[in-house]
Every structure is written in structure tokens, then in C-alpha cells.
Amino acid sequence: MNHVATFQYSKSFEIGSFQVHPDGKIRLSCVADLFQETSWGHADSADFGRNLIEENRIWVLSRMDFHCFQLPSWDDQVKVYTAGRGVEKLFAFREFIMCNEKNEILVQCMTSYLLLNLESKRPVRPEAVLPSHLFDPTEKPEWQASKIEIRGDLLDSERLKVRYSDLDLNNHVNNTSYILWVENILKEHRINKPNLLINFQAECMLGDLIEIKTYQQADRYIFQGLKEDKLVFLAEAY
């Protein structure tokens, strides 16, 4: 079977000069931007996207696991595919792949989402809004973004301040900003790893001071993001 046959929605993009590192390859945070844009397109097309805000409900990204095989370069034409991969308890799963013009997979990512009530901040069972033909509640994904555990030796620690450009439409730090923070540390330390797993734990707001601690265990690098003593994210490059 063609590997795109099980996907439900796609969107084409051209990689711009503003999306790439000095080496000409796309930033992983920009890959996440394109995945997020495709996700909204899919959700809006089937009425489980922005319309939920009117019902005081919102999707919150919980985890992402990127497997990067060959990052595209400036001017490359790519297509992003996405599909629902089932539901388990309070989590809804969504898979992405990015393909080149030869239909080769460049990046693959599995994500998990929570549906929250905006007023109570309590989770809502995703079956309440998800079309069952797109997110089969009896289906489970073949793989899931896993929970990260802090381990290894502390290598470094740095602080940053949440800037206006880090925020999303809800005035919270965008998930792609967390990825960019980690990506900057990896690049500045000349650490090149093809995969990145990230767990989003708590929201950050404009002006928050974030401490990011870097740990190493063997050939893996773990990042812990803290706001005062509160855990806001964990990431693992491997």
C-alpha cells in the first residue's frame, strides 16, 4: 500500500528562505509550524477545529515525537499529510508525514492532544467532538510519543524570557517556540540528532522567566524547562 493512502488530509508548501538554518535545511520548529497549519486545516474541514472555541473548548498539544530522515532545503516543494490515529482515554492521536516530490518520507511525527474546557481547564473526552470516521475510538496508534524521564548528568543551564513573538492566538507560548528553544541549544552546542521527543506540561505567558537545564545520558540529551520550580516542558534529542 502507498504510505500516504491511510492519511486523510494534505497540504502543499514551498520551503522559504526565512525557514532555514545557515546550512540551508529547514528548522525543526518550522516543520512543526507546517504540521500545525495542516492540523488546523484538517480540523476545520470537519468541524472540530476553530469552531470549538465558540463552545469554550480548545485542543491542547500534549506530546510530539519527530523522526527526521532528510530535512528539506530552501525552495524544496513538500506535502504534509495528516490523519487521526485513534483515541485512548483522554488523548486523541494525530500522525503527520512530510514528503518530497518523489513521495519519499522526509519527516514523520506522532502527536497526542487533550481537549480542554476553556473555563474549567478540565479535560473533555475527545469522542465528544471528533468524527468517528476520522478518529476511531477503538483504534490505537502503532506507536505513541512517550513520557520523558529526567536522567543523566547535568551539562548546562540557561535562562530566557518569554517574548511577544513566542505567543500564540491564546496568548500562551506556542508549541513551536519550545521546539525552537531546544533547537537553538542543540545547534549552538553542535549536537546533531535526527529525532526529538517533547512533552508539554504547563502553559507559559509573556514575561515568564524560563530556566532550561540540559542533561546527557549516553548519546541522548534531555531538556527540562522550569518556570520557578514548576515544570513546563521536557524534551529529548536522540
CA distance 98 to 187: 22
Task: Give backbone dihedrals phi and psi of 164, rounded to 5 degrees, phi first.
Answer: -60, -35
- pLDDT for 169 equals 87
Please state, in angstroms and as integers, the Cα–Cα distance from residue 23 to each residue in 17, 27, 187, following that order. 11, 10, 11
Listed in sequence order, the residues at least 6 apart from 170 whose beta carbon sits closer than 8 Å to its beta carbon are: 58
- pLDDT band at residue 54, thresholds of 50, 70 and 90? confident
- pLDDT for 118 equals 86
Mean of per-residue pLDDT scores for the chain: 95
What's the burial of 100, exposed, middle or buried (CB within 10 Å: 0-12/13-18/19+)? middle
- Give 69-109 pLDDT, tens digit per residue: 999 999 999 999 999 999 999 999 999 999 999 999 999 99
CA distance 31 to 20: 10
- Give 171-199 pLDDT, tens digit per residue: 999 999 999 999 999 999 999 999 999 99
- pLDDT for 52 equals 86
- Give 33-50 pLDDT, tens digit per residue: 999 999 999 998 988 888
28-45 helix and 175-188 helix, angle to the nearest 10 degrees: 160
- Give 128-165 pLDDT, tens digit per residue: 888 888 898 888 898 999 999 999 999 999 999 999 99
- pLDDT above 50 (res 1): no
Q: Which domains does the chain have, with CATH numbers?
A: 9-128 (3.10.129.10), 153-237 (3.10.129.10)
Assign residue 42 a region: left if phi > 0, alpha if psi is -120 to 50, beta otherwise? Answer: alpha
